Structure 1
């Protein structure tokens, strides 16, 4: 999903204000974002809650 929206793991982490390793862990389903971070992610990726977590868990 990140690459489709034009983000690398590093650039997405910078936009979110977190470390790239945390983004990687979320992508691999090993961490769940906080509610606040999930909202930032939805805004950056232009998606809704279900789409975001389908991607994280999928």
Structure 2
């Protein structure tokens, strides 16, 4: 079972981004893409590029 979660949050610049929350890492990890609105960010989570980004960040930050 996954021990991480992904959230969509608004950035200070008004754009939206996806953040990966990993229990072994204190701060949420920005997955590296910014979007005009939360709907675009949510839709990005359904493409293979997001899956690759999530897997890479999990390997990088998981202890």
Structure (1/2) with the larger strand percentage: 2
TM over 0.5: no
**TM-score, normalised to structure 2's length?**
0.35
